[in-house]
Amino acid sequence: MSGVGGWSMAGAAAGALFSVGVILIVRGVPVNRRPGLDARLAPYLRDTIAPSRLLASMPRNQTRLSTLLAPLMGDLARRVDRIMGGSASVRRRLQRAGLPPDVEGFRGEQVVWGALGGAVGSALGLLAILARGASVMPVVLLVVASVLLGVIGRDQWLSRQARLREQLMLAEFPTVAELLALAVSAGEGATGALDRVCRLSRGELSIELGRCLADARAGANLPTALQGLADRTGLVSLTRFVDGMVIAAERGTPLAEVLRAQAQDVREAGRRAVMEAGGRKEIAMMIPVVFLVLPVTVLFAVFPGFAFLRLTM
C-alpha cells in the first residue's frame, strides 16, 4: 500500500508540473504578451536615432529560450521587488559592492536563485515521497522554504560582497593616503596626485579614485567628485578622508599633512580593531576549555578515587 501511495504522490507531482507548464505556455502566447502603453509610446518619445532594420534583424548572442523567458523573468523580478521592497537599500549596497546600480537585474538574479532553491527543494521532496511516502503538504512547505532561502540568500550574498569590498578598501587606504601625501609633497596638485596614484596602484580603492578622477575630468569639480566617492562607500574613514581633502582644497591648508594624519588615524583604527578581534577570539577560545577540556580533566581526576572507594566498600 505504501508503494501505491508513493506512486500516487509522484503522479500528483507530475500533474502539478504539467499544469505549471501549461500555464507558462498559455502566458507565453503572443496574444497574452501585448505591449503596454510604455512600450507603445517609447519609439515616439525616444531621443536617440532608431537603429537600422538590417542591423536589428541580425542574429544576436541570445537564445530562443532566453527570449521566451525574458517576459516571465521581468514579471517575476517586479513581483519580488514589490514583495521585498528596499530598492534604495539594494542600490546602495550594489554601489558599495562595486556593481552597476541595476536593481531590476539584481531582482532577476534573486528570481534565478529562488528557482534554483525551488528545484533543489523539489528534488528533495520527490525523493522523500518516493522513499518514505511523505505527504504533499510538507513537500510543498519545503519547496516554498527553499525558494525563500534562495531569494534571501542572494540578498545576503550582496551584503557580504559589499562588506568584503569595503574591508579591502580599508586595508588599502593607509598606503594610498601615503602615496597621495608623497605626490603632493613632491609638488603635484590634488588631481595630478590622484592620477599618479591610480596609475601606480591596483585595488578597489584605486578603482574608486579612478572614478573620481574621471568625474573631475568630465567637468565636475574635485570636491564634488570626492563627495561621490564618500557617497558610494559606507566607510567612515573614507568619509573623513574626503572631508579633509575638501576642506584643505577650499581653505588652502597643507594637503600632505592632512593625508598623513588620515593614514595614521586609519592605522590606529586598524590596530584597535585587531586588538578587539583578538579579545573576542580569546573569550571564544575559553568556551571549549571550560565546557569540554575542564570537565574531562575533572572526570579523570575524580573517577579513580570513586573507583577506589567502591572497591574498598
Q: Is 34 helix (H, G, I), strand (E, B) or coil?
A: coil
Is the whole model's pTM more than 0.95, yes or no? Answer: no
Residue closest to 162 by CA, chosen among 235, 103, 212: 235
Q: Could you report the per-residue pLDDT of 97-134, keeping only the tens digit for each? A: 888 888 888 888 888 888 898 889 888 888 888 887 77
Average pLDDT of the chain? 77
**Cβ contacts of residue 250 below 8 Å, gap of 6+?**
223
What is the C-alpha to C-alpha distance for residues 313 and 311, in angstroms, rounded to an integer? Answer: 6
DSSP letter for each residue of 144-206: HHHHHHHHHHHHHHHHHHHHHHHHHHHHHHHHHHHHHHHHHHTT--HHHHHHHHHHH--SHHH
Q: Could you report the per-residue pLDDT of 16-29, keeping only the tens digit for each? A: 888 887 887 777 66
Residue closest to 264 by CA, chosen among 240, 234, 243: 240
* pLDDT > 80? residue 40: no
What is the C-alpha to C-alpha distance for residues 159 and 110, in angstroms, rounded to an integer? Answer: 13
Q: Could you report the per-residue pLDDT of 223-278, keeping only the tens digit for each? A: 788 887 777 777 777 888 788 777 777 776 677 777 777 778 777 877 887 788 88
Q: Could you report the per-residue pLDDT of 148-188, keeping only the tens digit for each? A: 898 888 888 988 998 888 888 888 888 888 888 888 888 77
What is the C-alpha to C-alpha distance for residues 289 and 78, in angstroms, rounded to an integer? Answer: 51
**Better pLDDT: 71 or 203:** 203
- Looking up cell 569590498 gives 165
Q: Could you report the per-residue pLDDT of 279-307, keeping only the tens digit for each? A: 888 787 888 877 888 888 888 887 777 77
